[in-house]
Amino acid sequence: MFGYIRPDRAELKVREYQVFKAHYCGLCVGLAQLGGCRARLTVSYEGAFLLLVLTSLREGPPAYRRVRCPLPPWKPVPVVVAPVEQRYAAAMNVLLAYHQMRDNVVDAGRRLSARLRATGAAAAARFLGAPARRAVSLYPEQARAVNEYLALQAARERERCADLDLAADPFARLLAELAPGPGEWRPRPGDGAMSPSLREGLRLLGYNLGKWVYTADAMADLEEDIAVGRYNPIAVLFAGEVLAAGQVRERARERVEFVLTQCLARMAEVVDLLPLESNRGLIENVVYLGLREQTERVLAGPRGGGCVEGSLRGAGAEAGCQRGGDQAGLPRTGQEVPS
């Protein structure tokens, strides 16, 4: 379920895009500190968005610095300086990536190509074992929540749950637990503990984002899941009828669009009320425009412009865009990216 939460680049200001890249690369730096190059392979838009939201709630604008990217062209790139938030976002990114790989093994099915994917996923899960264990040691409460809700998710899938809201609920509750940040996190150190209203706002944002991601992912994978006989809550809705995959998509489109649109509306309400100290325009771009664009893509399906590529790396396919291109206006060492 990676690769969905991304901004609408066409509507971003140049400064906003620079800030987004700085958070994406900042996540990559946090992953390297957590588990070396192997952890860096999991860098995703989802982790970058979590890092962006948390740093934007901190008092005062975030600072940035330049580091050298380990990939070509080895140019210095700006990264956000937020050690606590970077470590947390990297740990959550690794935990979710690790469990997704394990889930891929279970979902692989019996076809030869699926078996090959399962072998690769199992090897990748072992590859991420050490970074995942470090993430568990750093954030045991969040790790328990991940295990608990993913186990509940697996139980719903084994039951072949036919209620779309009920099927999406465990993953939504999981992101609701992760969104407020680590337990000791203080966006405004002088205020002491995080206010209950802010924590509840972040939980609501995480819940609706998780429900949106799960539903969008089910719609994006609908044809493939039907072809291999894999559980999909949308396909189960029409299990008693003899329908082709395309017909299932058409029958389900209105209902799925309603769920996705409601999630977007609730997220927009929360973002409007969040006490963001910086980057409001960028976060609104992701929620108002980026997720809307992804909604239209998953509803259209493979014949209507293509589904979103929900790859593990998320933005990995566009890594060249993140590192290359025009870097005019980016901060020099010790300078800040204007936000």
Q: What are the pLDDT digits (tens) for 7-52?
A: 999 999 999 999 999 999 999 999 999 988 889 989 999 999 999 9
Q: State the pLDDT confidence band at 339, using cuts at 50, 70 and 90.
A: very low
Q: Is the pLDDT of residue 116 over 70?
A: no
Q: What's residue 335's pLDDT?
A: 43
Alpha carbon distance, N-terminus to C-terminus of the chain = 29
Q: State the pLDDT confidence band at 184, using cuts at 50, 70 and 90.
A: confident
Q: Which domains does the chain have, with CATH numbers?
A: 9-183+190-323 (1.10.600.10)
Q: What's residue 46's pLDDT?
A: 93
Q: State the pLDDT confidence band at 301, using cuts at 50, 70 and 90.
A: confident
- CB-based contact 65:22 (threshold 8 Å): no
Write b or e for each residue in 244-279: b if 16 or more Cβ atoms lie within 10 A of its Cβ, otherwise e: ebeebbeebeeebbebbeebbebbbebbeebebbbb
Per the model's pLDDT, the better-predicted residue between 218 and 243 turns out to be: 218
Average the pLDDT over 207-228 and give the result.
93
Q: Is the pLDDT of residue 311 over 50?
A: no
Q: Is the pLDDT of residue 75 over 90?
A: no
Average the pLDDT over 168-192 and give the result.
86
Average the pLDDT over 201-210 and give the result.
96
Q: What's residue 303's pLDDT?
A: 67
Q: Is the pLDDT of residue 122 over 60?
A: yes
- CB-based contact 321:45 (threshold 8 Å): no
Q: State the pLDDT confidence band at 191, using cuts at 50, 70 and 90.
A: low
Half-sphere exposure of 118 (CA within 13 A, CB side): 11
Q: State the pLDDT confidence band at 337, using cuts at 50, 70 and 90.
A: very low
Q: Over pLDDT 70: what percentage of the chain? A: 81
Q: Find the angle CA(265)-CA(270)-CA(275) to the nearest 5 degrees.
A: 150
Average the pLDDT over 247-276 and give the result.
94
- CB-based contact 78:49 (threshold 8 Å): no
Q: What's residue 155's pLDDT?
A: 94
Q: What is the mean pLDDT of the chain?
A: 83
Q: What's residue 319's pLDDT?
A: 34
Q: Is the pLDDT of residue 317 over 80?
A: no
Q: What are phi and psi of 325, to 5 degrees?
A: 80, -170
Q: State the pLDDT confidence band at 325, using cuts at 50, 70 and 90.
A: very low
Q: What's residue 324's pLDDT?
A: 34
Q: What's residue 282's pLDDT?
A: 95
